[in-house]
């Protein structure tokens, strides 16, 4: 039987030089990356408006109408709200025709000249309240109902929630792929 001898000495001779060569190669690669790298600029997309302070949630109209009781007493922003019908110059219904939700313009919105028209798509910022008989009387005293018919329509909301909108913005309605306006 032939003995081949130990190869241990052969491996020990090259381990230190190979380790040093690996460190030099990695250091050289990192230096090359540092020299050839170009600075990148991060662009932050800013919205055209600042977020209103105190908003507890920003919701699409469908998400808001699914469970508005969750937001009672809170200030919310409701986007893509379609005005289904008007209730005098200071109130209107939003949402689907079979489940409308009452919106009343708050004094700051009225002073700012906010208004709505049937079919218009809006972004609303306001506080969710419970409609009571005393609120209905206060609205009438403030001139919200020019006719008795408008008051009668608003009475349907007694016992349910409504949104008192302090800010009203018209939404830019863009054309969809089929040419139909978005949000209608």
What DSSP element (H or E) covers 75? strand 75-86
How confident is the chain (184 residues) per 10-residue block, as mean pLDDT?
A: 61 84 96 87 56 73 89 90 88 86 89 87 91 87 84 83 90 49 40
What does pTM read for this prediction? 0.63
pLDDT of residue 6: 59
Query: CA 93, CA 54: separation in Å to the nearest integer?
Result: 24
pLDDT of residue 158: 81
pLDDT of residue 142: 83
pLDDT of residue 15: 85
Domains of the chain: 57-170 (2.40.50.140)
CA pseudo-torsion sign 108, 145, 76, 58: negative
């Amino acid at each position: 039987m032939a003995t081949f001898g130990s190869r241990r000495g052969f491996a020990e001779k090259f381990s230190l030089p190979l380790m040093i060569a690996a460190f030099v190669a990695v250091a050289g690669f990192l230096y090359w990356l540092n020299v050839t790298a170009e600075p990148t600029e991060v662009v932050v997309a800013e919205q055209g408006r600042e977020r209103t302070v105190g908003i507890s949630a920003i919701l699409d109209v469908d998400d808001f109408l699914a469970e508005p009781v969750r937001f009672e007493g809170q200030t919310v922003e409701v986007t893509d709200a379609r005005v289904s019908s008007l209730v005098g110059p200071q109130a209107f219904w939003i949402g689907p025709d079979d489940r409308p939700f009452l919106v009343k313009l708050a004094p700051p919105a009225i002073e700012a000249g906010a208004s709505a028209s049937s079919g218009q798509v809006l972004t609303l910022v306001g506080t969710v309240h419970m409609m009571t008989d005393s609120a209905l009387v206060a609205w009438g005293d403030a001139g919200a109902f020019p006719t008795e018919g408008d008051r009668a329509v608003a009475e349907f909301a007694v016992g349910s929630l409504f949104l008192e909108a302090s800010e009203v913005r018209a939404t830019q309605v863009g054309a969809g792929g089929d040419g139909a306006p978005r949000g209608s």
